Structure 1
Amino acid sequence: MNPAKIAWITDTTSSLSKEFIEQHHIHVIPLHVVINDDFFKETIDITQEEFYIRMKTEEGKFQSSQPSLNDFVELYEKLKTEYDFGVAVHASSILTGTYQTSVLAAEMAGFKLYGIDSRTGSYPLSFLIKKGIQLVEQGVEINEVVRQLNEMRDDTRLFLVPSNLDQLHKSGRVSGGQKILASLLNIKPILSIEEGTAKIKDKVRSEKKALAWLVNRLKEDLESHKVTKAVIIHAHEQDKAVAFEKYIHEQFPDLQTEVMMLITVAGVHTGAGTLGLSWVCE
């Protein structure tokens, strides 16, 4: 009996490398970023670097938008002629409607789909996809693969430290008064993506203290869980990210690290200059 032909589907919030996407034939639907009412397909019409440069240098509105239903229907109409079924792993359904749109489109196209709401994005989302592919290659039955991936969602960590509150204010996440007070006191909010949504975990004075907070949180998980890799995330702050990576290496010499650009649909809210740290407890 031939093994089932499985299509893997995700969106651009997964931050997968071009090489990995091509190697595993992953179908990636782009989200949109909107700059002063002009729509750009993420990673296709505009790179992450271009987006953050424009955010730093231009005035105006920077927003995000989910893929259209038609984008997914067209994809699934094609995939149903080539694959037995698909596994779609998407960004948090609370932060974007992409997951719901994907599942609806599969129903409309008559394509059998196992949909997974990752409840996160960026590195943790890419980790879930890679883990799912690994399990399938090991011969694990698809229902068990989906169960394990859903179970792992609570073990993902994604923390972000905005450089300022400008974009959070523009997107309605903080008030004007909070923005002014934070600027005066140099207060840095620490955001966590958990249970599918963004939460303010703490507020500290200075970026240095914020990064120390992230390292302490990582240390706690390293002491109680298996963590093989930590990813430093940045919104066009390569030098700061590399310096942060070096500091983490000094603290945890055996830990793998990687530097990754923050997905633009998150940067829409946190702004250029954001730094973050992410890992998964295995």
Structure 2
Amino acid sequence: MNQKQPRIAWITDTTCTVGADFIKENQLNVIPLQVVIDGKSYKETIDITDKQFYERMASESVTFQSSQPSVGEFIELYEKLKEEYDCGIAFHCSSKLSGTFSASVMAAEQVGFKLYAIDTRTGSYPHAYLLNKGIELFNQGFGPEEICDKIEEMKTNTRIFLIPANLNQLHKSGRVSGSARLLANLLNIKPILSVEFEGAKIRDKVRTEKRAINYMLDLLREDMEVSKVSKIMIIHADAEENAIKLENLINAQEEFSSIPTDRMMLVPVAGVHTGVGTLGISWVCE
């Protein structure tokens, strides 16, 4: 651990689901990703809320896409930060899912800002978890390189599993074929999507949402046999009622009853691909 800590700027993007109080308390610099609705771009959390996005997706028959921040946006930020800070530590969403990490690194190099950029290989709750751990390590006296090393060790311990309500949006975004979508909707087949170190993939397919939920809970049980899980996060795409039911189901089971649970909305740039009604669970193995 270093005796004298450098002046560090903390940077992240809107796939990191932290609240306004946390952002203010830690002076976070948050670069927004964008959703593109019918050709018009909206910056997450600035031009459109999560709720507004999903309401529009549910009611409008137009195209919904996502877009990463430009290198120029990062250049503008880093030009300012290099005047006040010795360096920055940036926690970005998976480079396997977005070019945000690359844009951040490129911008820092162009303006000569010393940046320790972390490709979290995840998003949403685990992204926020890793950022929080990084700040905790800094407050304990660890330097930037040590923080990056320790976060690197934690990255493979993050879990996100999602159940789309249907395959319509995955079809529109080119993730599944039209015939696969039709068959899945007819037979009530639910894919379980996972965000892993190598990117997003369909982990498995099962009949009915109940079986899909049990599948996710079985994975949680397996992790709990060998690791500590300090929180279970229920993630949903404007499906609050179903999220509450899932939370109650988890809390009612004795093996999970001692673990705190919470709910959060799926970030719109992910919801673009999974659609309204998506339900999922996330946790981190400690």
Common fold, TM-score beyond 0.5? yes
- Mapping 1:90-169, distance limit 5 Å: 90-169=92-171
Q: Contact conserved, 2:247 with 2:261, CA < 8 A, in 1?
A: yes
Q: Which residue, 39, 45, 48 being the options, matches 2:47?
A: 45
Residue 59 (structure 2) aligns with: 57
Q: Contact conserved, 2:189 with 2:208, CA < 8 A, in 1?
A: yes
SS at match of 2:48: coil
Residue 231 (structure 2) aligns with: 229
- Mapping 1:20-39, distance limit 5 Å: 20-39=22-41
Q: Contact conserved, 1:120 with 1:196, CA < 8 A, in 2?
A: no
In structure 2, distance between residues paired with 1:17 and 1:167? 27
In structure 1, distance between residues paired with 2:192 and 2:162? 6
SS at match of 1:226: coil
Deviation string 1:49-88 (CA, Å, 9 cap, x unpaired) is 0000000000010000000111000000000011110000
Counterpart AA for 1:9: I
In structure 2, distance between residues paired with 1:62 and 1:114? 33
SS at match of 2:15: helix
Counterpart AA for 2:217: V
Check if 1:259 corresponds to 2:263. Answer: yes
Distance 1:2-1:151 versus aligned 2 partners, 3 A rule: closer
Shift of 1:3: 2.5
Deviation string 1:6-31 (CA, Å, 9 cap, x unpaired) is 11100000011111011100100000
Shift of 1:143: 1.1
Residue 175 (structure 1) aligns with: 177
SS at match of 2:138: helix
SS at match of 1:14: coil
Shift of 1:2: 4.8
Residue 278 (structure 2) aligns with: 274
> Structure 1 length as normaliser, TM-score?
0.99
Shift of 1:208: 1.0
In structure 2, distance between residues paired with 1:158 and 1:185? 25
Q: Contact conserved, 1:52 with 1:272, CA < 8 A, in 2?
A: yes
Q: Contact conserved, 1:159 with 1:277, CA < 8 A, in 2?
A: yes
Let me know the Cα RMSD of the aligned residues.
0.9
Q: Contact conserved, 2:5 with 2:143, CA < 8 A, in 1?
A: no
In structure 2, distance between residues paired with 1:211 and 1:43? 29
SS at match of 1:144: helix
- Mapping 1:190-229, distance limit 5 Å: 190-229=192-231
In structure 1, distance between residues paired with 2:150 and 2:284? 14
In structure 2, distance between residues paired with 1:143 and 1:67? 26
Counterpart AA for 1:181: L
Counterpart AA for 1:152: M
Structure 1 segments (4+ residues) deviating >2 Å: none
User: Once structures 1 and 2 are overlaid, which stretch shifts more, 38-47 or 140-149?
Assistant: 140-149
In structure 1, distance between residues paired with 2:4 and 2:127? 29
Q: Contact conserved, 2:5 with 2:141, CA < 8 A, in 1?
A: no
In structure 2, distance between residues paired with 1:152 and 1:3? 23
Gaps of 5+ in 2: none
In structure 2, distance between residues paired with 1:196 and 1:278? 17
Deviation string 1:67-114 (CA, Å, 9 cap, x unpaired) is 011100000000001111000010011110000000000011110000
Q: Contact conserved, 1:95 with 1:196, CA < 8 A, in 2?
A: no
Gaps of 5+ in 1: none
SS at match of 1:13: coil
Deviation string 1:194-237 (CA, Å, 9 cap, x unpaired) is 02411111101111111111111111111110110010000000
In structure 1, distance between residues paired with 2:245 and 2:24? 31
> Structure 2 length as normaliser, TM-score?
0.97
Residue 18 (structure 2) aligns with: 16
